[in-house]
Amino acid sequence: MAQDWWKGVVIYQIYPRSFQDDDGDGMGDLKGITRRLPHVADLGAEAIWLSPVFTSPMADMGYDVSDYRDIDPTFGTLAEFDALVARAHQLGLKVIIDQVLSHSSDRHPFFQESRLTRDNPKADWYVWADAKPEGSPPNNWQAIFGGPAWSWDVRRRQYYYHQFLPQQPDLNFHNPEVRAWALETLDFWLDRGVDGFRLDAMNHLFHDAQLRDNPPDIRPKSGPDYKPFEMQYPIHSKNRPETVAFTEVMRAHVEKRGPIALLAELGGDHHTSEQLTEYTAPGRLHLAYTNDLMTPAFSAAKVRRSVEGVAQGNPCWSFSNHDVPRHVGRWSGHAVDQDSFAKLTATLLLTLPGAVSLYQGEELGLTNTELSYEELVDPEGLTFWPDNPGRDGCRTPMPWENGAVHGGFSMAETTWLPLRRDHAARAVDVQAGDPDSVLEHYRAVLAYRRKSEALRTGGTEFLDTGEPALAFRRGGTHLCAFNLGTEPVTIDTGSPAKAEIASDGVEVAGTTVTLPGNGFLIAV
C-alpha cells in the first residue's frame, strides 16, 4: 500500500443502520454492507467510512459506546466485521471506522465504576466536579444537544460533564490511563485490519482543567441563537492545546503499524479554517473532515473562501453526511432541476483540492425525507421539533431496487425509518446503465478523477469570476468551471480550453466558456 494513499482519496460514508438489512429486522447490518460493497467499488470510491457499529444502547444511534471492542448485535458479530474488511480489501477498498473517543455511553462499565465512589480505580476516568455552594453546575458550559453540559449524579454527589447527551459522559483525557486506553483501542481494530479512523468530535477531546467559564459570543447576529451552546465561544470546553499535542502522539502511534490514516471531525464553530490547518500540520492528523461546505449558504464566493482558507491544511470535503440535510435539497434554490443540480454539485465536489467524502445515496441525487414527529428517533429532532426536525431525514434507508419491498433495503414488515416512494424511484437499479442518470455521472467523474493526478493532488488557482460562476485550475493543467445559478453565464478563461467532461449546452469558443444554468466543465 502506498504510504500516502489518503492524499486525494475519495471516501464513501456508510451509515450502517440504513445501508442494507440482511437479517430482516428492519435495520442495516454488516452482512448487508458486505453484500453491497461491489456498488461502492463500481462507483469508483477508494475507501469506506463506517459510522459506529460498536456495542451501544443507541441513545445517539451508536455514538454512545458501551463496548469499544465489540460489535453491537444490531449489526452482527466481530467475525462478520472481519469478513467485511476482507471483502472490502478484495475489492480494493480501504476501511475507515468511526472512533468516538471523547465520550462513552453512561452504561459503559468504566462510567458505572467511576460513578460509584470518588476513589475507585476509574474515579478519575471521567470529568467530575463539585457543585457551587448554591448547588448549580461548576461553570457555564452548555451541551450541544441543549441545556447545561453538566448532570448531577446522586451516587458521587457531584456533577459529570457531557458535551452531548447526558447519556454520553466525557472521558477525562487529562488522565494518562485514559490516553493509553484510547491508543490500545485503536490497536484492537488495527489488529483486525482496518486502514484508518474517522475521529468523531476530535476537537472535543480535552477540556480546560481549571473549568473556566466560556466567554459569550459577542458577534453581531441577525436574530436570537437557536441553542444556548451557540451563545458562547467554547474556548475552554473544546479546541484545547492539549488536544493538538495529543494528535502528534496518535499519529506516531498508528504509523508504527504502517500507512494508517487519521481523519478528524472538527466540530464546527468560529475558526474552522484555522483549526483544520493546525490539526493537520506535519506530524499531526492526516486529514480533517471540514463541515464548512455543509451549511445552508451556497455561493461561488463561499466555496472559494472555504478552499483558500485551508490551502495550508489537508481537508476532506463533503457536502452531505449523517448530521446535515442532504445538499441537493438544502441548496435547491440554486437548482434548475434535481438531476442537473446533483450532477453540478458532484462535479464540483470531486474537483476540489484534498480528499472527498461522499455520503451514501448522494450518488442517486437524493434529497431529505420529511418525517412526522411520530417517525423520529433522533434525540436532536425529538428535543427541538418542529423548528429543527433533527437528522433522521438524511438517514433513511438506501434505495436499491424500485418496486421491491422497502426499495430492496429490507424484507421486514417495517424499517427503523421509512423509505419513501420518491427515493425508491431513484433506486440504484433504475439509474445503473442509464447514461443520463446521476449515478452514471458520478461514476464517470470518479473514474476521470482517479486517473488525474492534477485533480487528486494538484494545486489550485482560482479565476476571478462574478457570481454565480466559479472557476479554478487544478495542477496547472485542468480548468474546472461551474455555474451555480439557473441562468446562463459566460466567463473568460484566459486560455483556450478543450472539454473533457461537460454538461449539455456548454459552449467553448477560444478563451470564452458559456455555461447554462447548473452547467459545468472540466477541460484541459
Task: Give pLDDT tens digits for 144-170.
Answer: 988 999 999 999 999 999 999 999 999
For residues 417 and 340, state if they share a domain. Answer: yes
Q: What pLDDT, on the 0 to 100 scale, is given for residue 291?
A: 87
Whether 97 shows a pLDDT value over 50: the answer reads yes
425 and 279 co-located in one domain: yes
Same-domain check for residues 269 and 402: yes
Residue 134: inside a domain = no
pLDDT band at 270 (very low <50, low <70, confident <90, very high): low
Shared domain check, 336 and 302: yes
Cell of 197: 479512523
Query: Where do we find the cell 437479517?
Result: 23
Whether 187 is covered by a domain: the verdict is yes
Query: Alpha carbon of 240 to those of 202, 244, 313, 350, 385: distances in Å?
Result: 11, 7, 19, 32, 32
Residue 271's pLDDT band (boundaries 50, 70, 90)? low
pLDDT band at 1 (very low <50, low <70, confident <90, very high): very low
Which residues are annotated as catalytic?
200, 265
324 — alpha (psi -120 to 50), left (phi > 0) or beta? beta
Count Cβ atoms below 10 Å from residue 401 Cβ, excluding itself: 15
220 shares a domain with 77: yes
Instruction: Please check whether residue 286 lies inside any domain of the structure.
Output: yes
Asked if the structure places residue 136 within a domain, the reply is: no
Burial class (CB in 10 A: 0-12, 13-18, 19+), 19: buried
Mapping DSSP to helix (H, G, I), strand (E, B) and coil, where does residue 175 land? coil
Q: Would you say residue 126 lies in a domain?
A: no
Residues 221 and 363 in one domain: yes
Q: Does 413 lie in the same domain as 466?
A: no
377 assigned to some structural domain: yes
Please check whether residue 143 lies inside any domain of the structure.
no
Q: Are residues 297 and 392 in the same domain?
A: yes
Mean per-residue pLDDT, 1-9: 88
* pLDDT at 220 exceeding the cut of 90: no
In terms of residue numbers, what domain contains 246?
A: 10-103+176-449
Same domain, 403 and 477: no
How many structural domains comprise the chain? 2
pLDDT in tens, 462-509: 999 999 999 999 999 999 999 999 999 999 999 998 999 999 999 999
Domain termination site, one of 397, 426, 449: 449
What stretch of H or E contains 98? strand 94-99
Least confident piece of the model among 42-46, 268-272, 374-378: 268-272
Q: Which of 449, 476, 494 is the last residue of a domain?
A: 449
3-state secondary structure of 522: strand
> Which pLDDT score, from 0 to 100, does residue 2 have?
79
Domain assignment present for residue 39? The answer is yes
Q: What percent of the chain shows pLDDT beyond 90?
A: 93
Residues 93 and 204 in one domain: yes
Give the Cα separation of 140 and 214 in Å (integer): 7
- Same domain for 388 and 503, yes or no, is no
Same domain, 420 and 478: no
Q: What 3-state DSSP class applies to 264?
A: strand
